Structure 1
Amino acid sequence: MNISFMWHMHQPDYRDGSGVMQMPWVFLHAIKDYYDMPWMLARHEGLKATFNITPPLIEQLKLYYEEPQKNDRFLNLWMQDLVLLNETDRNWMIKLCKSTPFETMVLALPSYAALHKKEHYNDNELFDMQVLFILSWCGIYLRSSNDLISRLIKKERHYNNEDKRALLHELSKFVSTIFDYYTKLYQDGRISISTTPLNHPILPLLMDMENAVKANHSTKIPKQHTSLEDDAVLQVTRAQALFLETFGFEAEGFWPAEGAVDEKSVALLKECGIKWIATDEAILFKSLGHADRSTLYSPYNYNELCIGFRDHGLSDHIGFTYRYWEANKAADHFISSLSSINKNSPDGTVFIILDGENAWEFFHNNAFDFFDALYTKINNTPWCKTLHMDDVAKLPTKPLNKLAPGSWIHGEFNTWVGHSEKTRGWELIYLTKRDFNHHKTTLDSETKDKITNHFLAAECSDWFWWYGDDHFTEFGTEFDMLFRSHLISIYDLMHIAPPSDLFETIIGDRSSQKFWLRPQSHISPTTNGLHDSFFEWIGCGVVDESKLFSTMDRVRGPVSKILYGQDETSVYFAFNADISQIHECDTIGIIIEPIEFNESVELHAFKSANYEEHFGNIKVEIAAKNMLEIRIDKSSIKTDQIQIRFELTKGGVIIQTLPGFGELEIDLATDYSENWFV
């Protein structure tokens, strides 16, 4: 069996009209992931993979080579005397320094953990937290090989200006070596390198917005849409030119942004000399008209272009599920899954394609333990062979006569168009394009080039990802502002007053209250698996899974809503779900931290009776008749703060992790007195 890993490395263009990056995620992932990911592969003899590196990432990464504080708003503030920061900048600095995942990154630095929990900071505390924030993002390679990083981590507190200057200089020097390292691994035959259209646009939507309706007939698209095909061509050709300039050779393959394809955009890629692309299994099944998985494990030839189709489930196991598992258990599960595929599709090729940067901060040790276990087991499995995509393009292929439009998310485009906010973004692009076309004859070539750059940046898929109610980020307003700033800059360059609409925020309220209501009072429901009474759950907390990151999950699973709460003796959970799907599940895993409680309970026994079990000192009662209910006895839990999550399994595969945002934190000592009234 061939295994073809593709790691997609991408960040949106954070530069505003002045060219300064407004958020530091390119830098942070550079010191944590962009070197570590190929390095972790290269440590294992003979393994191969493909790394897809997008143009916005390439352009911005180069801005950190020298004096990075001039090109990055965060680092500019980071280097300033804290006394000089105004309240807005200081609060934004604190917000960023507290954005690091606590369990997997902050806790590894005890001083950072202590500061992270504070609400107010004096200058010395904030200074230390600034340094610790950067250190927490340093990857395993830097921590294990760089003396300065090791020394500063051991220092723990009382950092000074010289520490800051030395740290930034060292990290800037390190970032400048990243692309050279990729080039060396390419020359050694260990990796292939591909890219994506310039600003990570959804090419099928640029070329023909009707593709959204073809992929999903219920999708609402802008009424006055127009083809942006000329921009689509520039997005491809400029990406190719930047790739050649950076790596010294031409890219043979593309990962179309978000795996988004249609026949016309793929024809454009072929016309531009691309030899292979990759997309999602949903596109293959829609193209073939059936979902026979035995057809998945082969490269295909569509119009003389090689296409690999990702195994959605296995790829998303790495991206979303294995973070909760012990490293060897996760690696064994992956190999076992490959073995099952190999029995049904011997000599097949499995495509594992996913984000190469954003998942690892939710793994312990930046996923080093997981990848070390996984790569070791692959090397020790004689029937497994890894190939990069340039190798795959030379394999025999199956013919594909039709290519359905769609993306890696459900084989459609609703993540980027359909919701009123997403539609509003497109409408503003079309409005600006019409005004530009009306006035462009009066503009000189240099101005038109600058305007074109802003149009291409505004067409980035990332802006539309955060519009609508399907994804949540604390930095939604910043993304909204960046998107509109490109269109405002176009009007400024034309010396025309921008329409007032461009100064109005598009993004709505993104508070967690939309999907998460905290408990308001004690509850004491009966755990019998029945809808006894609505009133016994009054005052409970609610997590609405149907509204929570819905497009990110590999499979939504049967549970649509979690009800939870507590009284003096117990913590209670109820799961709104299709109960027939619950009864088809094998087990529900219950993981409670920080205590040692990680157990799976069989679900088949609950169809007609309650089930009570002791796990160590903890008593758990479960019932699943008309609904799934769980009661956990509090008497043996010797801590006030717990984090809990649940895993539903079917056929040995986790089909849903609850809650969808990771862990549900519960204060067992809460008395809810702040909610009382008389």
Structure 2
Amino acid sequence: MNLSFIWHMHQPDYRDESGIVQMPWVFLHAIKDYYDMPWMLERHSGLKSTFNITPPLIRQLKLYYDNPQNSDKFFNLWLREISSLNMAEYSWMIKICKSSTYDTVVSKMPSYDVLYKKESYTHQEFFDLEVLFVLSWCGVYLRTNSEIVKEMLQKGKDFIYEDKLSLLHELTHFVRGIFDYYVELRDRDIISISTTPLNHPILPLLLDMNSAKVANPSTNIPKHPISLKDDALLQIERAKELFEDTFGFQPDGFWPAEGAVDENSVALLSECGIKWIATDQEILFRSINSRDKANLYKPYDYNNMCIAFRDHELSDLIGFTYRFWEPKLAAKNFTSLLSSINDSHSDATVFIILDGENAWEFYDNNAFDFFDALYTNLGSTPWLKTLHMQDVYGLDKKRLNRLAAGSWIHGEFNTWVGHKEKTRGWELIFVTKRDYEHHKESLDEATKAKITEHFLASECSDWFWWYGDDHFTEFGLEFDTLFRSHLIAIYNLMKIAPPLDLFEPIIQNRSSVDFWLKPKSYISPDIDGRHGSFFEWIGSGVVYENRTSSTMDIPKGPVNKIFYGQDDECIYFAFDTDIEMMKRCKILRLIIDPIGFNEEIDIDFTTQKQYCRKNGGIVFEVAFEDWLEIKIDASSIESQKLDFRFELSSGDAVIQTLPSFGELEIDMENDFSDRWFV
């Protein structure tokens, strides 16, 4: 069988209208992921892969080649004397420097861990926090091969200004070589390189907003939308130009932003010389009106466009599930699942396509141990061959007569239009575009060119990703400000007072409280599996799984909400679920740390609705009728602080990991005296 990986490397354009990068994530992912991902592949002879590198990433990474402090807000403040920072700047730097993932990054660096937990700092502590934050983003390659990075990690504290200068010089020198490294690996036929339209827009929505209703008739779209076809064409052509200028050759493949496709957008890509694209299995299933996965394991030809359809479940195992597994066990499981496919389809071509950067900080050691084990297994599997997309293009392809509209998220476009905040963003673009059309004849060509750049930037999918309640980030207001700044700049360039609406945040103040309410009091509900009495769960904590996730779209499983709480002797959980989806789940794995409890709970309730059992020395009750309830007797557990995690399985596949943000901590000594309420 053939196995083809596509790793999608993308960051939105963080530059404001003055060209200054407002958030440092491009640089930080560069020192952690953009080099490490192909390097981890190269270490294993004979393996191939495709890397999709987006234009906003390319443009911004080049700004860090020399004196990044001149182009990046963070590094400008990072190099300034602490006493020169005003309160807003000081607070913002703390917010950034405490944004590293705690469990897998901060907790592994003792000096950083201490500072991370502090609320106030001396000048030296603040200085150390700034340095340790940047060091925490250094990937395995730098930690292994850079003497400066190794020495500073060993030092751990009491850094001086010269340390900052030395570190920044080392890292800027490192990022200058990243794109050359990709070209070298391509020349050696280890990788192929593709790209995405210029500002990562949802092409079908630019061409015709009604494509959202084609994919999902219940989607609310803006009133009086206009086609942005001219912009769509520019997004493709300018991406090709930037790609050739960077890598020295024309791209022949695109990952359409978010795997978003329809027949019109694919026709436009084809007209622009693109020969292959990739998207999600849901698009294939809707196109052929069949969910038989046997149809998935081959490339397709739609009107002379080669299309690869990702195996959603296998891709999500790497993106979301295996981070909780022991690396060699995860690699073995993945290879076993491929073997099962090979047993039934020996000529299969399986496509694994996912985010190539945002998942790895949730793995220990930035996923190095996982990839080392996975690539070792793949390289020693005689019945498997890895291909990049240049190889795939040369394979026999099955004809596809129709292409459904949709994206890699549920086969629809609701992540980018539908919610009132998302729709409001589009309405502001359309209003601004109409005003521009009324005034463009009076503008010179240089001004029109600048305005076009701002329109293309405003069409980035990432702005709409963070609008609405389906994703959360502490930096939502910063994204909102960046989006509106492009439209404000257009009016300023036209010498027209921007509408006041553009100065009003689209995002209303939100925080993690929107998806995670902490317990307020003891609870002692009856465990009967019936969602009958609201009062039994008053004071419980609530995790809204249908509102969580971050830079990656965590696949939604049967559980929508988790209610949890405790009394003096027991811990309680209730799972508000999609009943029909839940009935397909047979096993719930319960993991409790630090006591090492890891047991499967039978939730096949076809013969019984409720039972009490003892596993691993712990007694628990389970019941399910119109929701799932669990009661755990904590009297035999010595540890007072417990971290809970759950895995729901259907067949051999883990279909949902809970909570989606990691682990749920319960402190058995908590008396809730600080959270009493009336």
| TM-score, normalised via structure 1 length | 0.97
Q: Partner letter of residue 67 of structure 1?
A: N
Deviations 1:90-126 (A, max 9, x none): 1111111111110011111111111111122222111
Does the alignment pair 1:612 with 2:599? no
- 1:628 Cα deviation (Å)? 2.3
Could you say what the CA RMSD is over the residues aligned between the two structures, in angstroms?
1.8
Distance in 1 of aligned mates of 2:237 and 2:530: 61
Q: Partner letter of residue 611 of structure 2?
A: N
- 1:608 Cα deviation (Å)? 4.3
Alignment-derived partner of residue 80 in structure 1 = 80
Distance 1:25 1:214, change over 3 A: same
- 1:620 Cα deviation (Å)? 3.5
Q: Decide whether the 8 Å contact of 1:212 with 1:413 is kept in 2.
A: yes
Distance in 2 of aligned mates of 1:498 and 1:245: 35
Q: Decide whether the 8 Å contact of 1:623 with 1:630 is kept in 2.
A: yes
Distance 1:398 1:579, change over 3 A: closer
Distance 1:493 1:579, change over 3 A: closer
Alignment-derived partner of residue 457 in structure 1 = 457
Alignment-derived partner of residue 266 in structure 1 = 266
Alignment-derived partner of residue 233 in structure 2 = 233
Pairing 1:489-638 to 2, within 5 Å after superposition: 489-531=489-531, 533-549=533-549, 555-578=555-578, 582=582, 584-604=584-604, 607-616=608-617, 618-638=618-638
Q: Partner letter of residue 83 of structure 1?
A: S
Pairing 1:270-281 to 2, within 5 Å after superposition: 270-281=270-281
- 1:532 Cα deviation (Å)? 6.5
Distance 1:608 1:238, change over 3 A: closer
Alignment-derived partner of residue 327 in structure 2 = 327
- 1:597 Cα deviation (Å)? 2.3
Report which stretch shifted further, 28-37 or 312-321: 312-321
Distance in 1 of aligned mates of 2:445 and 2:571: 67
Distance in 2 of aligned mates of 1:55 and 1:531: 50
Q: Decide whether the 8 Å contact of 1:313 with 1:554 is kept in 2.
A: no
Alignment-derived partner of residue 40 in structure 1 = 40
Distance in 2 of aligned mates of 1:470 and 1:551: 11
Q: Partner letter of residue 428 of structure 1?
A: L
Q: Partner letter of residue 270 of structure 1?
A: S
Report which stretch shifted further, 622-631 or 465-474: 622-631
Q: Decide whether the 8 Å contact of 1:579 with 1:624 is kept in 2.
A: no
Distance in 1 of aligned mates of 2:415 and 2:435: 27
Distance in 1 of aligned mates of 2:179 and 2:540: 52
Q: Decide whether the 8 Å contact of 2:569 with 2:634 is kept in 1.
A: yes
- 1:677 Cα deviation (Å)? 6.4
Deviations 1:243-273 (A, max 9, x none): 0000011111011101111111111111111
Alignment-derived partner of residue 358 in structure 1 = 358
Matched residue SS, 2:238: helix
Pairing 1:100-179 to 2, within 5 Å after superposition: 100-179=100-179
- 1:589 Cα deviation (Å)? 1.2
Report which stretch shifted further, 304-313 or 186-195: 304-313
Matched residue SS, 1:610: strand
Deviations 1:294-334 (A, max 9, x none): 11111111111111111111111111111111111211121
Structure 1: segments with no counterpart, 5+ residues? none
- 1:567 Cα deviation (Å)? 1.2
Report which stretch shifted further, 148-157 or 658-667: 658-667
Distance in 2 of aligned mates of 1:675 and 1:278: 50
Pairing 1:379-418 to 2, within 5 Å after superposition: 379-418=379-418
Matched residue SS, 1:5: strand
Distance in 1 of aligned mates of 2:627 and 2:277: 45
Alignment-derived partner of residue 246 in structure 2 = 246
- 1:643 Cα deviation (Å)? 2.2
Pairing 1:305-320 to 2, within 5 Å after superposition: 305-320=305-320
Alignment-derived partner of residue 2 in structure 2 = 2
Q: Decide whether the 8 Å contact of 1:470 with 1:551 is kept in 2.
A: no
Distance in 2 of aligned mates of 1:445 and 1:609: 73
Pairing 1:429-508 to 2, within 5 Å after superposition: 429-508=429-508
Q: Decide whether the 8 Å contact of 1:4 with 1:352 is kept in 2.
A: yes
Q: Decide whether the 8 Å contact of 1:579 with 1:628 is kept in 2.
A: no
Structure 2: segments with no counterpart, 5+ residues? none
Q: Decide whether the 8 Å contact of 1:417 with 1:423 is kept in 2.
A: yes
Distance in 1 of aligned mates of 2:168 and 2:316: 35
Deviations 1:51-81 (A, max 9, x none): 0000000000000000011111011111111
Q: Decide whether the 8 Å contact of 1:569 with 1:635 is kept in 2.
A: yes
Q: Partner letter of residue 80 of structure 1?
A: R
Q: Decide whether the 8 Å contact of 2:252 with 2:274 is kept in 1.
A: yes
Deviations 1:12-60 (A, max 9, x none): 0000011000000001100000000000000000100000000000000
Deviations 1:221-246 (A, max 9, x none): 11111111111111001000000000
Distance 1:534 1:487, change over 3 A: closer
Distance in 1 of aligned mates of 2:161 and 2:480: 34
Distance 1:677 1:316, change over 3 A: closer
Q: Decide whether the 8 Å contact of 1:378 with 1:384 is kept in 2.
A: yes
Q: Decide whether the 8 Å contact of 2:520 with 2:677 is kept in 1.
A: no
Q: Partner letter of residue 515 of structure 2?
A: F
| TM-score, normalised via structure 2 length | 0.97
Q: Partner letter of residue 391 of structure 1?
A: D
Does the alignment pair 1:95 with 2:107? no
Distance 1:490 1:626, change over 3 A: closer
Distance in 2 of aligned mates of 1:275 and 1:171: 36
Distance in 1 of aligned mates of 2:182 and 2:202: 26
Matched residue SS, 2:425: helix
Q: Decide whether the 8 Å contact of 2:529 with 2:609 is kept in 1.
A: no
- 1:341 Cα deviation (Å)? 1.6
Deviations 1:329-356 (A, max 9, x none): 2111211111122222221111110000
Does the alignment pair 1:338 with 2:359? no
Q: Decide whether the 8 Å contact of 1:299 with 1:392 is kept in 2.
A: yes
Distance 1:341 1:562, change over 3 A: same
Report which stretch shifted further, 261-270 or 520-529: 520-529
Q: Partner letter of residue 612 of structure 1?
A: R
Report which stretch shifted further, 262-271 or 242-251: 262-271
Q: Decide whether the 8 Å contact of 2:647 with 2:654 is kept in 1.
A: yes
Distance in 2 of aligned mates of 1:166 and 1:507: 39
Distance in 1 of aligned mates of 2:88 and 2:304: 55
Distance 1:213 1:132, change over 3 A: same
Q: Decide whether the 8 Å contact of 1:550 with 1:556 is kept in 2.
A: no
Q: Decide whether the 8 Å contact of 2:545 with 2:559 is kept in 1.
A: yes
Report which stretch shifted further, 228-237 or 641-650: 641-650
Q: Decide whether the 8 Å contact of 2:358 with 2:551 is kept in 1.
A: no
Q: Decide whether the 8 Å contact of 1:528 with 1:610 is kept in 2.
A: no
Distance 1:217 1:580, change over 3 A: closer
Q: Decide whether the 8 Å contact of 2:564 with 2:572 is kept in 1.
A: yes
Matched residue SS, 1:107: helix
Distance 1:307 1:509, change over 3 A: same
- 1:438 Cα deviation (Å)? 1.1
Report which stretch shifted further, 249-258 or 649-658: 649-658
Distance in 2 of aligned mates of 1:609 and 1:456: 57
